[in-house]
Amino acid sequence: MPTPQISAVSIQKSYRKGELRVPVLKGVNAAANKGEFLSIIGQSGSGKSTLLHLMGLLDSPDVGEVRLDGQRVDNLPSKTRDELRNRVFGFIFQFYHLLPELTLQENVLTPLMIRHPLWTYWPRRKHYREMALDIIDQVGLSHRLKHRPSELSGGEMQRAAIARALIAQPEILLADEPTGNLDSETGGEIMDLLHRLNEEQQLTIIMVTHDESVAASAHRTIRLAQGQMEQVEKVA
């Protein structure tokens, strides 16, 4: 059997509220192969977003491991994990996290601005802008280049967030409730876009959702309940 591209192995995670220790994940195993579209579904508080954040190295497990191509990565030095987050992972969040003072194009360029120091970014700025224009066109926002987030609709902001995630050419896209703030029609458009990226670019996508119909469109679904994996479902 091939090694999964990314896996969470026997993950346990708790948080503290004052003196109280609140267990969130209780020995969860999850894995995605290259090019797979995996959904993680569960009710609020089931631990699904925590699992996604751990797999994307935004947090560290108390017990267990996160592996990338079979190699443990959650225990690497902070700088190395930062580099992996910038180069390997693309992130899409429910609340977009666009910078309000920047235009759409500038927001899309931020991962490259973070990746490259000024003296290497500046000579290649024209090339990077052309990359941004191409990706913005892919998500259907060419007419919004100079608009700021306050001038965009919810669907447009989510498309901008997807473009921002894609410009760094990630190997794995992690999406946390990507349709959670959108109406059903706009959410369907976002899902169509994610499926197109998965099919055309063989981009691995791991998506957290509480919506059964959204989860059902993935290749495979992991269901969490009270911090444990309840079942794994394959879509026919």
Domains of the chain: 35-58+77-234 (3.40.50.300)
Model pLDDT for residues 201-230, shown as the tens digit of each residue? 899 999 999 888 889 889 999 999 888 887
Measured CA to CA in angstroms, residue 33 lies from 5, 148, 176, 206 at distances of 5, 36, 19, 10
To 5 degrees, how large is the angle CA 10–CA 67–CA 178? 85
pLDDT of residue 233: 63
* Least confident stretch, 45-54, 87-96, 196-205: 87-96
Angle in degrees, CA 108, 186, 146, rounded to 5: 30
C-alpha Rg value of the chain to the nearest Å: 18
For residues 52 and 8, give the distance between their C-alpha atoms in angstroms, rounded to a whole number.
9
Among the residue ranges 28-37, 119-128, 210-219, the one predicted with the least confidence is 119-128
Q: ∠15-21-23 over CA atoms, to 5°?
A: 65
Strands (E), 124-195: 172-176
4 secondary structure, DSSP code:
P
CB 21 within 8 A of CB 14: yes
- Cα angle: 72, vertex 162, 12; to 5 degrees: 30
107: closest CA among 77, 79, 84, 139? 139
Residues 117-145: what's their mean pLDDT? 85
What is the structure's pLDDT at 236?
45
